[in-house]
Amino acid sequence: MATIPLLLFFFLLLNSISITSFSCPLHHKQILLNFKSNFTTTFNLNQSDYDYYPFNSWSNNSDCCSWYRVGCSETSTITGLDFTDIMPSYHYPASVFFDIFTPLFHIRSLEQLVISHNRFVGEIPGDGFGNLTQLVYLDLSWNNFNGSIPYQIFRLTNLRHLDMSFNSFEGNLGPELGKLQNLERLDLSMNYLTGSIPEEIGNLTKLRSFNLQDNFFSGGIPCSIANMKDLEYVDFSRNSFSMKIPTCIGRLPNITMLVLNNNQLTGLIPSSIQNLSLSVFYLSRKCIELEVLIKLDTYNDSFRKFDTYNGKFIS
Ligand SMILES: *[C@@H]1O[C@H](CO)[C@@H](O)[C@H](O)[C@H]1NC(C)=O
Ligand SMILES: *[C@@H]1O[C@H](CO)[C@@H](O)[C@H](O)[C@H]1NC(C)=O
Ligand SMILES: *[C@@H]1O[C@H](CO)[C@@H](O)[C@H](O)[C@H]1NC(C)=O
Ligand SMILES: *[C@@H]1O[C@H](CO)[C@@H](O)[C@H](O)[C@H]1NC(C)=O
Ligand SMILES: *[C@@H]1O[C@H](CO)[C@@H](O)[C@H](O)[C@H]1NC(C)=O
Ligand SMILES: *[C@@H]1O[C@H](CO)[C@@H](O)[C@H](O)[C@H]1NC(C)=O
Ligand SMILES: *[C@@H]1O[C@H](CO)[C@@H](O)[C@H](O)[C@H]1NC(C)=O
Ligand SMILES: *[C@@H]1O[C@H](CO)[C@@H](O)[C@H](O)[C@H]1NC(C)=O
Ligand SMILES: *[C@@H]1O[C@H](CO)[C@@H](O)[C@H](O)[C@H]1NC(C)=O
């Protein structure tokens, strides 16, 4: 007799659970609405006269998981925020610092954070990023962030994708870089980074794409790089790397693109390069598109033509 009302009760209970659990947490919604209002004030925006207003869908009477630029998990926790190209192209103040984003560090469930293609300036707060331990994907590229890369970034061991390219970061990379053992893509190109690549880089055994182009890195290319068996793409061009290209570079089975031009590398190209199935190999500015003359230590003084398209020596 009591079964039907009981079932009905459970049905209603389940229903109410799913209704409440399928909208984003109120305190997170409030943080995002505060951010929106702060952003609007900072950039002196008037929603009605601004065609491309990045936060039009962010309204208090809808579920924030349905908002544009906000990503949620199946249980409606906020896992992604995409702030690509949010800066208005006109009437913005001279410099907007990272501070505008600091309230978002309370959303500790974030797995993806993208702030690329804007013109934000200033240093990025290490203590804030230290909170985002779930981060898998972090893209701060194409801004004007400066100062050194805070050490807390290197404690985000879930990171698989780290892009800080096209900024003004400076300073050295310490051994703690080796802690990012899940990293698959690391792009620090177009900054003012200095010092040598730490030996610990070899601990990043899942790295597939490694870009340090256009910085001031110096010293030799560490041989530990040979541990990175999944490496496919390496661009160290336009730095101050010196010494010989290490022979161990021939132990990278998956590498197809090796770009080393505009450095101060000396000596001969190691013959182990022959071991690689490179489709692109740039060494010096003199190289032409498909063929490059390189000198092999085993062949002493004789130059050989290297076909960068097929990754084979021609003669
Ligand atoms: C926004 O701009 C429109 C048209 O330019 C104007 O009519 C309106 O008063 C402005 N609103 C605010 C709050 O400034
Ligand atoms: C959003 O609505 C809640 C109540 O539903 C209210 O407490 C809160 O102040 C509102 N937030 C904004 C930014 O209007
Ligand atoms: C808005 O952002 C500025 C920094 O850009 C910060 O000082 C201020 O406290 C923020 N205001 C609110 C209401 O979040
Ligand atoms: C880190 O998260 C905790 C808990 O949400 C918060 O109290 C703290 O202020 C956060 N730190 C920063 C820098 O946002
Ligand atoms: C970073 O840039 C800001 C704004 O341009 C400037 O005030 C600050 O001194 C710079 N910091 C460093 C460490 O260069
Ligand atoms: C990281 O790299 C260093 C230097 O190459 C090495 O001594 C250390 O054992 C490595 N650590 C791990 C956890 O692989
Ligand atoms: C190389 O690439 C292949 C195909 O993408 C992949 O299966 C393999 O795990 C990679 N790593 C090594 C060490 O071969
Ligand atoms: C060539 O590649 C194989 C397989 O990765 C490796 O065992 C060997 O040591 C490499 N030879 C040289 C000269 O690097
Ligand atoms: C390389 O060339 C030098 C002089 O041209 C010669 O003395 C030396 O024996 C050669 N080395 C090899 C390995 O052929």
pLDDT in tens, 83-99: 998 888 766 667 889 99
Lowest mean pLDDT among 12-21, 118-127, 197-206, 271-280: 12-21
- Tell me which ligand sits closest to the C-alpha of residue 222: 6
> Taking the mean position of all CA atoms in its chain, how far away is CA 97?
20
Q: How many CA atoms lie within 13 A of 62 on its CB side?
A: 11
Q: How far is the CA of 113 from the centre of ligand 8 (A)?
A: 39
What pLDDT is recorded for position 181? 97
Q: Which residues make Cβ contacts (< 8 Å) with residue 143, sequence separation at least 6?
A: 115, 116, 117, 118, 119, 120, 121, 166, 167
Which residue has its alpha carbon closest to ligand 6 atom 7?
200
What pLDDT is recorded for position 82? 96
Report whether residue 301 contacts ligand 9, using a CB cutoff of 6 Å: yes
Report whether residue 128 contacts ligand 4, using a CB cutoff of 6 Å: yes
- Tell me which ligand sits closest to the C-alpha of residue 206: 7
Q: How far is the CA of 205 from the centre of ligand 7 (A)?
A: 12
pLDDT (tens digit per residue) in 163-183: 999 999 999 999 999 999 999
Task: Note whether 112 and 90 are within 8 A (CB).
Answer: no
Report whether residue 121 contacts ligand 5, using a CB cutoff of 6 Å: yes
Q: How far is the CA of 107 from the centre of ligand 8 (A)?
A: 46
Report whether residue 122 contacts ligand 5, using a CB cutoff of 6 Å: yes
Please give the angle made by the CA atoms of 198, 200 and 205, to the nearest 5 degrees. Answer: 125
pLDDT band at 206 (very low <50, low <70, confident <90, very high): very high
Report whether residue 109 contacts ligand 4, using a CB cutoff of 6 Å: no
The structure tokens listed for 8 are: 């009905």
What pLDDT is recorded for position 260? 83
What pLDDT is recorded for position 217? 97
| Beta-sheet strands, E only, within the chain | 70-72, 78-82, 112-114, 121-123, 137-139, 144-148, 161-163, 168-171, 185-187, 192-195, 209-211, 216-219, 233-235, 240-243, 257-259, 264-265, 280-282, 291-295, 303-307, 312-313
The residue whose CB lies within 8 Å of the most ligand 8 atoms, and thus the one to mutate among 251, 254, 296, is 251
Report residues whose beta carbon is within 6 angstroms of any ligand 2 atom: 33, 60
Lowest mean pLDDT among 4-18, 121-135, 201-215: 4-18
pLDDT for 303 beyond 90: no
**Cα separation of 77 and 287, whole Å?**
51
**Cα separation of 309 and 131, whole Å?**
45
Residue 266, CA distances (Å) to 19, 232, 241, 246, 258 in order: 66, 24, 9, 11, 16
Question: Looking at residues 150-158, what average pLDDT do you find?
Answer: 97
Which residue has its alpha carbon closest to ligand 9 atom 5?
301
pLDDT (tens digit per residue) in 1-49: 344 444 444 444 444 344 444 688 899 999 999 999 998 888 887 766 5
What pLDDT is recorded for position 279? 57
Q: How far is the CA of 45 from the centre of ligand 4 (A)?
A: 29
The structure tokens listed for 122 are: 């200033």
Which residue has its alpha carbon closest to ligand 5 atom 10?
122
Q: How far is the CA of 41 from the centre of ligand 1 (A)?
A: 14
**Cα separation of 113 and 74, whole Å?**
18
